[in-house]
Structure 1
């Protein structure tokens, strides 16, 4: 097994979730494992697609197929299936800034409508994440880097159930607290300094929030997550879900 590639146990968990099985319409994906390993090589190394080792096939063919799977939501469906065995005692919200390489803003149309924006770090993208009690990713939303953390919170929590929702001060808003109360969950969110009446929170439970920060740290071992090289937001989102799937496959 080459570096970055799936082992037998990992492959067994996702093989049946990929298109191209014998009972699927269209062409059979007999090389699915080789293709996924090629995508993982690009994700982990951060290299250009044209530098893909020859053992994975022609890079243009692999890139074209990766793009198709991004647009059809294959990576997201695989990730969603893996998250079925979750621990919903706590749900945690957080976000991270991803610095965008200059090549992410090149091409026709530039950064328009591709989740790219300007923040303190320059050209950036923000990844909003919902995680379970163990800090494993459950859901993502991708926005321009200057977007406030709380903008994606309601969408991330939609349809979720938990005993408590943990988040930092950036998520301290009355609307979000009401939404969490509507889930019949406790809001474990410290109050902002400008709040006239401080709302107490469970400090013991809040200590668990470091799990989501550690998850972001693990995901940033994947260089195409740590730095955005992809011009299209759909391609970057595909890599995000592939990296998250690998967290669940460990």
Structure 2
């Protein structure tokens, strides 16, 4: 094989790997009408929106720096600038809210996950209260999440890694409706009261140290593995599994992006 042939094969392999991270036609159809910059919207109409938006999942999945973005998505500065503008305008939040409106509320599930913060997330400027904190696992960030019966993210809160699960759990089901709310034994009686206030039944195993064991539906509790599998799928995206961003608002933008993926299938 000549050097030129090897180069062509290498280039084709790289392009195939790059396209694997892009949105499929079905995924694009789910969100195209929800995005800013389409014809008829105020301001300038976006050109080739799908091309540069596909650059966001590439950065999210690969974990690479913005400046390493392949040329097929355009100038990395332009792609990054649009990402930042949409963050300030709250567009990703609105898209996520619209996608999650049609959820399966038979079961609501609450859980959290720890993500390790990369050393660059703790360096440079960024201000205080940016959500990386010291916990047993080192410098970490905690994602508190509510999921529907199919294990799709419905709401999340980002805190420092040392913040306890129960401190944020009471906010997650408020304003929601469902038949059952599933959680593990780390969640206390305070959450049971919140669950009762929305007209749902709490399915929470009792801590073994309790003198009086509170019964729960063990068959329904088995469905709680859906939210665990959801976190496992989300951690396939390296920009979520490792926090590289110094500022919490930047990291939150990527979390909205990865949380929307299950709703676009």
Q: Please state which band the TM-score falls in when normalised by the shorter chain.
A: over 0.9
- Contact residue 71 and residue 234 of structure 1 kept, 8 A: no
Kindly report which structure 2 residues correspond to 1:6-155, keeping only aligned pairs within 5 A, or say none: 6-109=23-126, 112-155=128-171
Q: CA deviation at 1:204?
A: 0.6
Secondary structure at the aligned position of 1:157 is classed as: coil
* 1:69 shift after superposition: 1.2
1:245 maps to 260
Q: Secondary structure at the match of 2:142?
A: strand
Instruction: Name the TM-score, length of structure 1 as normaliser.
Output: 0.95
Tell me the secondary structure at the aligned position of residue 175 of structure 2.
coil
TM-score, length-normalised on structure 2? Answer: 0.90
Answer yes or no: is the 8 Å Cα contact 1:49–1:63 preserved in 2: yes
Report the counterpart of residue 210 of structure 1 in structure 2.
225
For residues 70-114 of structure 1, the C-alpha deviation after alignment (integer angstroms, 9 at most, x for no partner) is 22221121112111221100100000000000111122246x211
Q: Which runs of 4+ in 1 moved over 3 A?
A: none
Structure 1 counterpart of 2:242: 227
2:8 is matched with: none
User: How far apart in 2 are the matches of 1:41 and 1:142?
Assistant: 23
Unpaired runs of 5+ residues, structure 1, are: none
How far 1:44 moved relative to its partner? Answer: 0.5
Classify the secondary structure of the residue corresponding to 2:145.
strand
Partner Cα distance (1:46, 1:194) in 2: 42
| Match status 1:174 vs 2:189 | yes
Query: Which residue of 202, 206, 210 corresponds with 1:191?
Result: 206
Call closer, same or farther: CA 1:109–1:86 in 2, change over 3 Å.
closer
Structure 2 unpaired stretches of 5+: 1-15
Q: CA deviation at 1:5?
A: 0.8
Deviates more, 1:49-58 or 1:96-105: 49-58
Q: Distance in 1 between matches of 2:138 and 2:85?
A: 30
CA contact (8 A) 2:126 2:246 kept: no
- Alpha-carbon distance in structure 2 between the residues aligned to 1:10 and 1:66: 18
Larger Rg: 2
